[in-house]
Amino acid sequence: MIQFINQYPETETFDYHKRLALLRERKLEQTAEKVAKEGGLDEDDYGRVVPPDYFKFKITPNNPDGHFYGYSGWTENFTRLLAEHPLYVDPLDAFVGRGFFFLIRLRGMTGDPSYPYPWNPAHPFDDLKPVFARYNIICGIGRDHHFNPDIKMGMELGWGGILKKLEHYRAQNPPETYEFYDSEIAVVKAIISFLRRISHQLAELSLIERNPTLKRNLEEMADINFRMADGSPKTMREAVQWMCWFSMLSRLYNRGSAGGQLDQLLLPYYENDIKAGRITDDEARFYLGCLFFNDSRYYQLGGPDIDGNDTINHLSYLILEAANEVNIACNLTVRVHDKTDPVFLRKAVGYLFSNRNGWPRFSGDTALVNGFMRCGFPRQEAIARISSGCHWMSIPGKEYTLNDIVKINTAKVFEMAWREMMDDGTPSLEELYKRFLSHLKCATETTADGIRFHLNWQDQNEPELILNLLSHGPIEKGADVTKSATYFNMCVDGAALATVADSFAAVEQRVIREKRLTFAELDGYLTSDFAGTEGEYVRQMLQKSERYCQGDTLGDRWAVRISRDFSELVRAQNQRYPGLNFIPGWFSWSNTIYFGRHVGATPNGRKAGSAINHGANPHPGFRHDGAVTAMCNSIAAIQPGYGNTAPVQLELDPGIAESPEALDKLVSMIRTLLNSGNTLLNINIIDEDQILRAHEHPELYPDLVVRVTGFTAYFSMLSKPFRQLVVDRIISKRGVA
Amino acid sequence: MNSAEMTTEGWITEIQRFSLNDGPGIRTSVFFKGCSLNCAWCHNPETIRPQAELMVYPARCIGCGHCVEVCPTGAHFKQNGTPGFDRSKCVNCGKCAEVCFPGAMVMSAKKVTVPQVMAEIVQDRAYYRDSGGGVTLSGGEVFCQIGFAHALISACREEKLHIAAETNLHWDFDTVRPLLTKLDLVMFDLKLADPEAHRRWTGVDNARILSNLQRLDSLGIPLIGRTPLIPGATDTEENIRAIATEMRKLKNLVRWELLNFNPLGGSKFEALGLPDPFASVQPLNRERMSELIRAAESGGVKVIAG
């Protein structure tokens, strides 16, 4: 157990603000400890804590390869982990629910970013692997979560209700579904036992705690947890406690997943408490603050209802204020639409600039809704599809998606096309694009094959034993969500759009139009990685060609063409696999570095092995004035247009919003860029000098948070290459100023 | 745009989109080449002379020698394999800049047509509309290129864009008047109240500037006044109070902005091969800014720090 009992004298008094401030201090200490013990982790914070030294969990394999697979393997290991899992309790906190592990990682990792987790060897896919390798595809086979559970349904049922629901449907379904039901029933029973154990431990600790305020808090937590073991929440505190545990349990299982629309999920509980006089706004903010300490889960705020009216409410404001008070890495997304409460939006943007912690970010309702409706969904479902992850949207409980998992490195596709064309000795721009499309088609089809394969066998590899419980379909049908989801909206992201578009533009400009180089000469420079002074000269010439995001340039036109053709290729997979809806996007996440490493020098002047562009962003240094508007217009123009995103990632100086008037301009900028077709906006407020100092001495800046890609992270927790990416963007910007 | 306006050419140093400090809302600023003043502290010294000149950034040079190959006067040379540049031989023809992709040689301005500039400007129309922004003509001195300015202003009006100009007010009023009446906002500089000090620091006295200011005010266009606070030159209470007196006379003044010294000109002076008289000067500290703002407020007009 990790506990902080009797840390304060009996006479010490606390109010909610003091408790949040003390919890924040502890959070920063824990971040520093995580960095010291685990090193750079290019991912979300998850609210996870370093496990106590004495606790070791050893998995029980059910396969000769030393790993475990399928219903029995996951059930046995998860229930045992729950039975043994130590409690983390902080009497200052309103909730318990911190986790230490992800079982998916305890099972063992492969070390290969293409297939990070072991896959059940009973179902080989050796036929697909060479194609995945050829195009540097991250195929998604064996990957998990990345879709949105229906937390509202979970809270209405409670664990006891979920258990009853499982037993009810088991009785109605045939014996071949019993493996599913028996596993799920065992898991839910283990959860209920775990929560009862926790509540007993809390009751025991409350007897020891000397401070009366904290003692009362522990008693309350014990009571609440006893009720939440199998009951449904009735108050806001119970609801948040339920959410904290659900977060922990799904993280503990396989790191999943997203939160939901927080200001709607909690609204009925908050309103009931207010009506009954059980809660003050101060108390509500305290609970929300504690929720953020518990987990950095993604939550959406606001958005339209079915009639187009704004759903921002008083609780939305409390959520923003609580996030402001705890001021840590929060993953809050404000969904911006025509009728977004302007006061709320301004407040949200104000916090973004004053806290400089990368939250909130902003999603563009119009483009997302219209895009998703193009897939054939009704407006109601498009609105219900809420911001849930780094770059993705999901309808709670209804979709299986592999969002932000499946990626095609189009720079590698380009490289294949280039090499093949040069080896065949028929170089031309048309030929290059023709071959690029041909390889992209092959890459996309094989990616779709991989997704279908994953859906066929994932339940035999890693069933979603936690998220199944909050999905519509699995319990009713007695099958894993990979076989029983309401919708299969499979995300296929392209990566390296700018790298490839700029490469085509550079070839068109320098080889075809200006005839400064021949194809053969360019090939020579690429092969030598722009060696020597003349190589560097040519590299800079290529780099200064008309680039993507400069505004109506060759690079912009190529990017639009490539994105349109990529979208068509992805959508064409629907015909190959009826029942599956493939949705294109542009996003590279932390694969920005990994993908770059696998691609040699490219005609956009990029050196071999260096990073591809991030997401849908341009390569750094794209414009002399770095104009945000030019960039946002270009990114709006390449949106794939089917409800998934190609995010805008901005880095802005904190000084830009110093006056109220300047803040108004930035609010306007955000509204305009989202109303102009963009889908998602991440803004990093970067004090450049501070970042450069923190890069040298990360340990001195434990609370410096940046939005690296889709997620916010402590800068000190990033690996050096990833910190370098952020630093390079700054240096590049300064270089052209 | 009539055909004459379509073909009118002008010299600009830069088009800056997403400009947040040059008037209301989100704007695109077009920097005109050439200025009628020669302020010693200018942070855009590349805009002063009417002709494009070569700016040299040796740190970016990779030693490729392509400039040597194209230079018609021998200003670029290689000695023992090391590149060198003799500015006294340079005729600012720009041939070296055309081949210098590393950016060690850059021409300070380019010749553009009105449609070329408009093509860039209209890309941000949605941002202007939502934020109440538009286009700002800046410089240099916009009205040194009267024909080009006229054509560009007309083109912006045709597109129904809010249009502002930043000016030093040192021009012939009757010539500029037809352009002024087409503007939605004029941002003018008033740097020094004392005529002799004005001459010393900017090259001209301020009689015409003060006279033009009064006549400009009579046109009824909203005005924003600006005073750069230059350590040792304009940053005295006496100067600020005297300018405040001028500001108070204006009927159409929206506000008066006091702009702290901007040391960004330094590297540009170096690139132009010119001495930077303010090389070691630092911006004013917060306390001094506050003191000068208080002095400015004595005039009874709205003052903000820019």
* CATH number of the domain where residue B86 is located: 3.30.70.20
Task: Give the domain CATH number at B210.
Answer: 3.20.20.70
B6 Cβ under 8 Å from any chain A Cβ? no
Listed in sequence order, the DSSP H helices in B16-145 are 66-70, 95-99, 114-121, 125-131
Distances (CA, A) of A149 to A257, A346, A397, A485: 8, 30, 4, 11
Q: Which residues pair with A298 in a beta bridge?
A: A331
Instruction: Parse chain A into domains and list their residue ranges.
Output: 134-138+396-643
Cα radius of gyration rounded to whole Å, chain B = 21
What pLDDT is attached to residue A655? 77
Residues of A with CB under 8 A from a CB of B: 533-534, 536-537, 540-541, 543-544, 551-552, 624-625, 627-630, 633, 656, 659, 662, 664-665, 668-669, 671-673, 675-676
B26 Cβ under 8 Å from any chain A Cβ? yes
Query: The tokens of A433 are what?
Result: 């694009």
Please name which of B19, B13, B15 lies closest in space to residue B35, comparing C-alpha atoms: B13
Chain A residue numbers with beta carbons less than 8 Å from the beta carbon of B132 are 668
Residue type, A600: G
Which among B15, B64, B124 has the least Cβ separation from residue A534? B64
Mark yes or no for CB contact B62/A537 under 8 Å.
yes
> Which residue is it, tokens 């606390």?
A14
Distance from CA of B166 to the nearest CA of A (A): 19
Report pLDDT digits (tens) over A664-709.
999 999 999 999 999 999 988 877 777 888 888 776 676 677 755 5
Residues B64 and B213 in one domain: no
Distances (CA, A) of A200 to A83, A237, B21: 14, 19, 61
Distance from CA of B60 to the nearest CA of A (A): 9
Contacts of residue A192, defined as CB under 8 A and 6 or more positions apart, other chains included, come to A159, A160, A163, A229, A230
Give dist(CA A421, CA A418) in Å, integer: 5
Among A28-37, A97-106, B62-71, B147-156, the range scoring the smallest mean pLDDT is: A28-37
For residue A462, pLDDT over 50 is answered with yes
* ipTM of this complex prediction, to 2 decimal places: 0.94
What pLDDT is attached to residue B5? 74
Give dist(CA A549, CA A618) in Å, integer: 6
Give dist(CA A522, CA A506) in Å, integer: 10
Query: The tokens of A305 are what?
Result: 């209802």
Mark yes or no for CB contact A537/B304 under 8 Å.
no
Residues B45 and B92 in one domain: no
Chain B residue numbers with beta carbons less than 8 Å from the beta carbon of A659 are 304
Which among B64, B120, B129 has the least Cβ separation from residue A537? B64
Domain membership of residue B76 as a residue range: 54-107
Burial label for A448, CB within 10 Å (0-12, 13-18, 19+), is buried
How many domains is chain B partitioned into structurally?
2
Give dist(CA A46, CA B152) in Å, integer: 54
Residues B299 and B222 in one domain: yes
Listed in sequence order, the DSSP H helices in B72-194 are 95-99, 114-121, 125-131, 146-158, 173-180
Mark yes or no for CB contact A664/B18 under 8 Å.
no
Q: What is the dihedral of CA B9, B11, B14, B19, to 10 degrees?
A: -70
Mark yes or no for CB contact A665/B133 under 8 Å.
yes
What pLDDT is attached to residue B1? 67
Strand ranges inside A395-486, DSSP E:
399-400, 407-409
Mark yes or no for CB contact A537/B101 under 8 Å.
yes
Query: The tokens of A253 are what?
Result: 């299982």
Please name which of A321, A297, A284 lies closest in space to residue A94, comparing C-alpha atoms: A284
In sequence order, what DSSP letters do the residues of A318-353 get, joined into one string?
HHHHHHHHH-S--EEEEEE-TT--HHHHHHHHHHHH
> Which residue is it, tokens 């990114």?
A635
Q: Which residues of A185-194 are buried (b: 16+ CB within 10 A; e: fewer)?
A: bbbbbbbbeb
B288 Cβ under 8 Å from any chain A Cβ? no
Phi, psi of A112 (to 5 degrees): -105, 115
Distance from CA of B289 to the nearest CA of A (A): 16
How many CA atoms lie less than 13 Å away from A553 in the CB half-sphere? Answer: 26
Which among B14, B63, B101 has the least Cβ separation from residue A544? B101
Instruction: Give average pLDDT by consecutive 10-residue segment, chain B, 306 residues.
Output: 81 94 94 96 92 94 95 94 93 97 96 97 97 97 97 97 98 97 98 97 96 98 97 96 96 95 80 89 91 91 88
Task: Give, as one character, the DSSP assignment of residue A135.
Answer: T
For residue A42, pLDDT over 70 is answered with no
Give dist(CA A267, CA A19) in Å, integer: 24
Report pLDDT digits (tens) over B212-225.
999 999 999 999 99
Report pLDDT digits (tens) over A323-365.
999 988 788 999 999 999 999 999 999 999 888 888 899 999 9
Please name which of A386, A400, A583 lies closest in space to residue A484, comparing C-alpha atoms: A400
Task: Give, as one character, the DSSP assignment of residue A439.
Answer: H
Report pLDDT digits (tens) over A233-292.
999 999 999 999 999 999 999 988 788 999 999 999 999 999 999 999 999 999 999 999
Task: Give, as one character, the DSSP assignment of residue A138.
Answer: B
> Which residue is it, tokens 């404001």?
A317
Give dist(CA A6, CA B53) in Å, integer: 74
What pLDDT is attached to residue A737? 32
Give dist(CA A391, CA B298) in Å, integer: 53
Give dist(CA B194, CA B189) in Å, integer: 14
How much of chain A exceeds pLDDT 90, in percent?
79
B2 Cβ under 8 Å from any chain A Cβ? no
Mean pLDDT on A221-240: 98
Residues B198 and B93 in one domain: no
CB A244 within 8 A of CB A96: yes
What pLDDT is attached to residue A92? 98
How much of chain B exceeds pLDDT 70, in percent?
99
Residues B113 and B86 in one domain: no
Residues B129 and B160 in one domain: yes
For residue A731, pLDDT over 80 is answered with no
Residues B62 and B44 in one domain: no
Which among B14, B66, B130 has the least Cβ separation from residue A672? B130
Give dist(CA B260, CA B254) in Å, integer: 19
Mark yes or no for CB contact A676/B66 under 8 Å.
no
Residues B69 and B148 in one domain: no
Distance from CA of A726 to the nearest CA of B (A): 22
Minimal Cα distance from B25: which residue of A? A665
Residues B100 and B118 in one domain: no
pLDDT band at A717 (very low <50, low <70, confident <90, very high): low
- For chain A, the average pLDDT equals 93
What pLDDT is attached to residue A40? 58
B91 Cβ under 8 Å from any chain A Cβ? no
Residues B145 and B237 in one domain: yes
Query: The tokens of A148 are what?
Result: 């949105």
Report pLDDT digits (tens) over B25-55.
999 999 999 999 999 999 899 999 999 999 9
What pLDDT is attached to residue A250? 96
B127 Cβ under 8 Å from any chain A Cβ? yes
Mean pLDDT on A160-176: 98
Mean pLDDT on A58-73: 96
Residues B73 and B210 in one domain: no
Look at B294 and A659; give whichever has higher pLDDT: B294
CB A279 within 8 A of CB A130: no
Mean pLDDT on A596-610: 97
Residues B256 and B294 in one domain: yes
Q: Is the peptide bond before A257 cis (omega within 30 degrees of 0)?
A: yes
Q: Which residues pair with B226 in a beta bridge?
A: B189, B257
Distance from CA of B121 to the nearest CA of A (A): 10
Strand ranges inside A373-479, DSSP E:
386-387, 393-394, 399-400, 407-409
